[in-house]
Amino acid sequence: MLVAENESAKPHVAIMPSPGMGHITPLLEIAKRLVVLHDFHVSFIVVATNEVSAGQDNLLRSSTLPPGLDVVYLPTVDVFAVTTDGMPVAARLSVIVEEAIKPLKSVLVELGKIKAVVIDLFCTQVFDICGELSIPAYLFFTASVALLTFSLYLPTLDREVEGEFVDLPEPVKVPGCPPIRPEDLLDQVKNRKIDEYKWYLFHSSRFHLGAGIFLNSWEDLEPANLKAITEDPFFKRIHTPPVHPVGPLIKQEEPPLTASDADCLAWLDKQPPNSVLFVSLGSGGTLTAEQFTELAWGLELSHQRFIFVVRMPTNSSASATFFNSGSDVNDPKAYLPEGFSERTRERGVVVPSWAPQVLVLKHPSTGGFFTHCGWNSILEAVTHGVPMIAWPLYAEQRMNATILAEEIGIAIKPAAEPGSSLVGREEVERVARLVILEGKDMMRKRIRELKDSAARTMEIDGSSYDSLACLAKEWKS
């Protein structure tokens, strides 16, 4: 792991995400900013596994990574040896990371003098390794500040509440924060008897070990939760580390365009401004066959222009492609309603598996985003000023959807059919029309304000820029 002489003279930071595009993307962006804007040398430490993820490979092997950002792969983990079929995402991430970091201490020693290590929320065992090496370790929280405040409160909730949180008669009141309805709680805390919950509680109870916490957010987006974490006596009492809002950190570029990507963007160029609904449910999300059919019929009935990113439906898990995003090859005609493509050819484009999301969202013809409410996708939509239809699938996405629709006012939440989790085609038709045809007033005004605020906070002298710059200066000294 030799580094060039001019790089060895620069202050050196190591950054380590857990697997999955939603974790790698923002940590890679902060790595780039440290290298390009603050003159650091960064070692980006990757948990390698024997599962194929084309999306991850494209990010980490991009020719546009700046000099001074070195990608360092840990020895490959045999996922099939350490996980079991059906293991939920957080438990699976945690056991993979636990196996991967066995050689991490010697890797960090070999990298030379490290000023700081930055990890994400599923890597908290690294705090112990950094403690042994006397290296300050920081947490990068890849989700909302709302989820962070809940996670910091979770050990208290665990001690004080008996039974399941989802059975509570009242919303969960995190000190100083908007209340959370039990049905909106993240999947990882819905069954306290399983390993998924125990792992999430384990990591949450260790966040205070960080020298600081990076937030992929900023004050205008989440004012109440940011105020709570910095001012409420509860968070002071549990020794919450200093927080550093550095967001929105989003993917700035796409991998080289495929022929399908180019066709999709060329079609978008011919559409009127704000007229196209972009339907994409994230790098890891899938729908059941029944729900997929209702979504497709709803889009057709709405008569709105659309780009529909389709992934083979599965009845097994909403997060079925979390670990191998961008790797599935499928033929949409095998599961779209018969004749769908022919009937909608004049006003819609069907894209198998993957689309250049950043380029679609920033395009002036895109007028709405049908999203699974992953935090990275939300930040991309806000940064590019696109109102949303909130369609949560797993993890903390229900909480995000409620915040977007009810607190921030930049999304519409479709209603499921009574007594069911299924969203029918008539409701899909209604929200698709609403966001494109009627979402031009308050919702579009609010998202434009946040778009401008997001741009300002990341510029020199903006609050998020300054937050990272101050810490960079501290590391250098």
Active site residues: 23, 120
Residue owning tokens 């299924």: 422
Residue owning tokens 């995402």: 89
Over the Cα atoms of the chain, what is R_g?
22
Instruction: Measure the CA–CA gap between 278 and 268, rounded to whole angstroms.
Output: 10
Instruction: Measure the CA–CA gap between 411 and 221, rounded to whole angstroms.
Output: 13
Q: Are 31 and 60 in contact (CB under 8 A)?
A: no
Token pair of 244, please?
């550093």
Instruction: Measure the CA–CA gap between 165 and 192, rounded to whole angstroms.
Output: 8
Helix axes 21-38, 463-476, angle to 10 degrees: 70
List of E strands, 77-178:
116-120, 137-141
Token pair of 66, please?
């700046």
Give the Cα-Cα-Cα angle 310, 263, 273 (nearest 5 degrees). Answer: 85
Instruction: Measure the CA–CA gap between 8 and 448, rounded to whole angstroms.
Output: 43
Point out which residues pair with 390 in neighbouring strands. 371
Instruction: Measure the CA–CA gap between 384 and 278, rounded to whole angstroms.
Output: 13
Instruction: Measure the CA–CA gap between 289 and 299, rounded to whole angstroms.
Output: 16
Instruction: Measure the CA–CA gap between 177 and 199, rounded to whole angstroms.
Output: 24
Residue owning tokens 């704000």: 274
Point out which residues pair with 348 in neighbouring strands. 306
Own/partner pairs, 440-445, CB within 8 angstroms, 24+ separation: 440/274, 442/409, 443/387, 443/409, 443/410, 443/411, 443/412, 444/274, 444/387
Residue owning tokens 């996405």: 397
Instruction: Measure the CA–CA gap between 70 and 52, rounded to whole angstroms.
Output: 21
Instruction: Measure the CA–CA gap between 51 and 476, rounded to whole angstroms.
Output: 38
Instruction: Measure the CA–CA gap between 347 and 349, rounded to whole angstroms.
Output: 7
DSSP state of 177: S
Give the Cα-Cα-Cα angle 333, 357, 150 (nearest 5 degrees). Answer: 110
